Chains A and B, each alone.
Chain A
Amino acid sequence: MGVLSSSVGSGAAGAAKFSDSDSRKYRYFDPKGKRQSHYEDVTVDVQPDPERYLIQDWIINFANGKGAYEKDATAARSSNWHAFRAPDEEWERTHYQRQSKIVTMVQSVISNARANNLPEGYDGVWRKILQKHLGAWKHAEFGLGTSLMRAQRFGYTQMINNATLTNSSYKLRLSQDITLFLAEVGMGLDGWNDELGKETWLNDPIWQGTREAIESIMGAEDYLEQYFASNIIFEPMVAELIRSGFFMRVAAANGDPITPPVISAAEADFERNLANTIDLMYTLINDPQHGNANKALFSEWAKKHGALANKAALGLQPIWSEPHTKPVSFDDVRAQSHERVKHILGELGIGDVLNGII
């Protein structure tokens, strides 16, 4: 049966030529590069803005009169919130592909290791370290995940909120990866206590600085402060320190080849989230109208969360002394961590803001 409702008997592109019959690109936003990307096409302007196309303004307000999205949800200011595009260009398809690949890899690593009885070869002290310290660390990742889940409600554009949302999704996945990794690795090991991690997180003095730093991010009212503190400060100063500076480097020497690949995914996640965060903060700090104010604001956030992260990192120091085999020293990895955070802050032009703190 032919097409009933077309004057040319077809609904296909090219079946007829008329005004705009070849208009095959979204034409309501300017791409960041020369051509609009797929990510931009599925992301830009889905969250409307009364200053762009939303001519009726927000039509349902909160009790205090504020609309669905307001610029003052953060103390930072921008002359164009819409300029930001996430460098990782994630949308649903790429997000699921990446997350799926990671969980499949992690499960494969665990499964193959268990099939070959690798956990039984763990050094006894290392077993305890995993239960206590990796078990505690999963809560820090969860805290970042929930804090970013909250933050994704408040950004002024779809690009900011979706980048925050995927960041939250990565953190929550990692916290679950670690939880199930520990549970499964421990299944064949006598005396394994899965609950030791939470107990350690809540009560062990080693972890209280980290918990305070995480809770401070979770408690920040400003969504952008949460995003900044997570990726610009806490991740390089504490998360990378313990993830790659301890678990990834120390595990193998203590008979554990499994933990490094499980944790490694987190470092790759962070590289992407860091790129997104730096790009957004860079845009704001170089804003022609508000750059100086944003610089001062970010410097304050850096100092506040930098001091907390520094205290957290120092608190973790005893962990490096616990394993039988100690291939790296706390001082060495901490020095690398300082270099890293200074480099990140340097990208934003505030490389010396933590002088006196670290």
Chain B
Amino acid sequence: MTSLTLNKITSQRGIPVGEAAKKIADLGWNPSYVQEAAVHPSDYKINKEPRDPMKQVLRSYFPMEEEKDNRVYGALDAALRGDMFRNVEPRWVEWMKLFLAIIPFPEISAARSMAMVARLAPGEELRTGFTMQMVDEFRHSTIQMNLKKWYMENYIDPAGFDITEEAFGKCYATTIGRQFGEGFITGDTMTAACMYLTVVAETAFTNTLFVAMPSEAARNGDYALPTVFLSVQSDESRHIGNGHSLLMAALKEPENHLLLERDLRYSFWQNHAIVDAAIGTFIEYGTTNRDKEKESYAEMWHRWIFEDYYRTYMLPLEKYGIKVHHDDVQTAWKRITEKMYVHNTAQFFAVGWPVNFWRIEAQTEKDFEWFEHKYPGWYAKFGDFWKWYAKLSTPGQKVVTFNEDVGYVYPHRCWSCLVPCLVREDIVTDYIDGELHTFAHEIDRWTAVEAFADEYQGRPTPAMGKFGGKREWETLYDGWDLADAIKDLNFVRQDGKTLIPQPHMRFDDKDMWTLDDVRGHTLASPLKMIRGMSEQERETHLAEYRAGFTINPCN
């Protein structure tokens, strides 16, 4: 005899999910009285109706997300009850001031971009998927703002968190994140909202953003970031599905293939340049955990980006007739390993510490050993620099940024990805509208000069975006005294003199740098400088730049 259960007694035949999704997809219609307002243009033509692979409806979506939220907020409460912050590493949380200043803007930009992309393809089915992504991104943006507020309320040094969105608009480092976020919402809709956002950023790089980073957070006593970001990541599969479905629809039209090749190339390279610079630095330099058994950022990159994304997602696009730039992937891999891209970036952020809004402390002998183990040759290149950094971390020393004894040469800024030209030998220059610009790599030059242009390989591309604004941050403060620039940035604590950024984790006023400690140094724009050179001078300068610099021994 079968036993009766409450489920059996109350069970009711409902509408199957596939049928529900089909009925919901039928809510749309082709307007006949007034045509729908144009959103944003695209040079792509999409005639095939994309399918929604997720087939989810809002009645199941909202309770699912509420449940996810309940877990997140419950975990945050538990973390406080468990006195998490007593055991959290400030070296880690300080980088969250930068990361969480940036990330809510790209997230909400993704929500906005759903409005753009929803009408790009015919049919209503995928629109439901885009609708849910829009609400997801609203979730991500505000849940991340909430996490940041929570850090501000509970972490030992709230300065920097307390000016977060102001700092986002002003800092030389957050400008890199703005390039990322603005890329989702401007220019050709397909380029921005499908290729750059979903096909590359979400499908490939959210793994390093939202999976690798949480692991490192946990190793540093921070259980909040994993709780929030793994919950965020659990929404990404829907977004990846949206992007793939639209990409498949676009592939059907051979005339899109050239643009797909361009956009895949631009998106991959720029995601690499931006995300690897930032997340690589947070993971490798924000940690105190030097377990040699754990994967380095490079090893994780190889697993997620190279093996998972490149081999199983990007490479198969070739069979649809899309040219895949295999060399770019190899070049990115070499930059991360042989050319020490992440380490050069961390060094640059450290040199720039007085104009940060977070603290960076020196790496120590224990760190050196791990770095050398994971990145052979690291010590010879960076060991002395970090010793200098430690030595110059007390007020009264000449700030590392301007200290000639160190031997560091301030870099040019890449006009394309906005990360500086840190792999010195790869710097290239070119002209746009008659003006000279510097680029971190040939592919960055290609991006700015050839991809973001009115035509691509002879094909008119009137919808493509344009780089604009005051892209080189250093131009804004060219000729300014460092102390005045920091004051203008408002990166000063409320006593009117102590800097928000500090080159150490000593939580004592007597150890903290003030405006007076950094006064007397003049900021300069490398771009303005190189533009002012004669052709001969410029060639000499670039040859010296490509040769690199040597950090002097620090005893």
**Chain A residues, CB < 8 A from B65:** 96, 100
- Contact A55 B85, beta carbon cutoff 8 Å: no
- Contact A45:B495 (CB < 8 A) given known A91-B142, A215-B31: no
**Chain A residues, CB < 8 A from B140:** 92
- Contact B509 A5, beta carbon cutoff 8 Å: no
Contact pattern, A 32-72, Cβ under 8 Å of B = 1, otherwise 0: 00000010011111111100111111111111010110000
**Chain A residues, CB < 8 A from B27:** 138-139, 142, 175-176, 179
- Contact A165:B111 (CB < 8 A) given known A20-B162, A61-B186, A221-B37: yes
- Contact B470 A56, beta carbon cutoff 8 Å: yes
Q: Is B540 an interface residue (CB 8 A)?
A: no
**Chain A residues, CB < 8 A from B504:** 7
- Contact A11:B467 (CB < 8 A) given known A18-B507, A46-B145, A153-B39: no
- Contact A168 B512, beta carbon cutoff 8 Å: no
* A239 nearest CB across to chain B (Å): 16
A55–B163 alpha-carbon span in the complex (Å): 15
A161–B467 alpha-carbon span in the complex (Å): 25
- Contact A96:B139 (CB < 8 A) given known A55-B170, A219-B31: yes
**Chain A residues, CB < 8 A from B113:** 153
Q: Is B28 an interface residue (CB 8 A)?
A: yes
Q: Is A107 an interface residue (CB 8 A)?
A: yes
Among B7-15, B299-307, B320-328, the one that faces the other chain is B7-15
- Contact B89 A3, beta carbon cutoff 8 Å: yes
A128–B376 alpha-carbon span in the complex (Å): 76
* A327 nearest CB across to chain B (Å): 30
Q: Is A187 an interface residue (CB 8 A)?
A: yes
Closest residue of chain B to A62 (Cβ to Cβ) is B186
**Chain B residues, CB < 8 A from A11:** 85-90, 93, 155-156, 221
- Contact A5:B91 (CB < 8 A) given known A103-B63, A162-B138, A215-B34: yes
Q: Is B258 an interface residue (CB 8 A)?
A: no
We find that the number of chain B residues with CB closer than 8 angstroms to chain A is 123
Q: Is B458 an interface residue (CB 8 A)?
A: no
- Contact A56:B507 (CB < 8 A) given known A149-B114, A183-B20: no
- Contact A149 B156, beta carbon cutoff 8 Å: no
**Chain A residues, CB < 8 A from B135:** 95, 165, 169
Scoring A13, A107, A184, A194 by chain B CB atoms within 10 A of each residue's CB, the highest score goes to: A13
- Contact A60 B179, beta carbon cutoff 8 Å: yes
Closest residue of chain B to A25 (Cβ to Cβ) is B162
Contact pattern, B 456-478, Cβ under 8 Å of A = 1, otherwise 0: 00000011111111110100100
- Contact B35 A219, beta carbon cutoff 8 Å: yes
Contact pattern, A 255-296, Cβ under 8 Å of B = 1, otherwise 0: 000000000000000000000000000000000000000000
- Contact A168:B134 (CB < 8 A) given known A13-B154, A58-B468: yes
Name the interface residues of B108-131: CB closer than 8 Å to any CB of A. 108-109, 111-116, 118-119, 127, 131
The one of A16, A41, A65 that contacts B507, using a Cβ cutoff of 8 Å? A16
A70–B461 alpha-carbon span in the complex (Å): 23
**Chain A residues, CB < 8 A from B152:** 24-26
Which residues of A does B touch, CB under 8 Å? 2-8, 10-16, 18-29, 38, 41-49, 52-63, 65, 67-68, 91-93, 95-97, 99-100, 102-104, 106-107, 111, 114-115, 138-139, 142, 145-146, 149-153, 158, 161-162, 165-166, 168-169, 172-173, 175-177, 179-180, 183-184, 187, 194-195, 198, 201-202, 211-212, 215-216, 218-221, 226
Which residues of B does A touch, CB under 8 Å? 10, 12-15, 19-20, 23-24, 26-29, 31-41, 57-59, 62-63, 65-66, 69, 73, 83, 85-93, 104-105, 108-109, 111-116, 118-119, 127, 131, 134-135, 138-143, 145-146, 149, 152-159, 162-170, 175, 178-179, 182-183, 185-187, 221, 288, 361, 418, 454, 462-471, 473, 476, 493-495, 498, 500, 504-509, 511-512
Known: A41-B146, A93-B73, A97-B69. 10 other contacts (CB 8 A): A7-B508, A8-B156, A24-B158, A57-B469, A59-B178, A60-B187, A162-B138, A168-B134, A184-B14, A218-B34
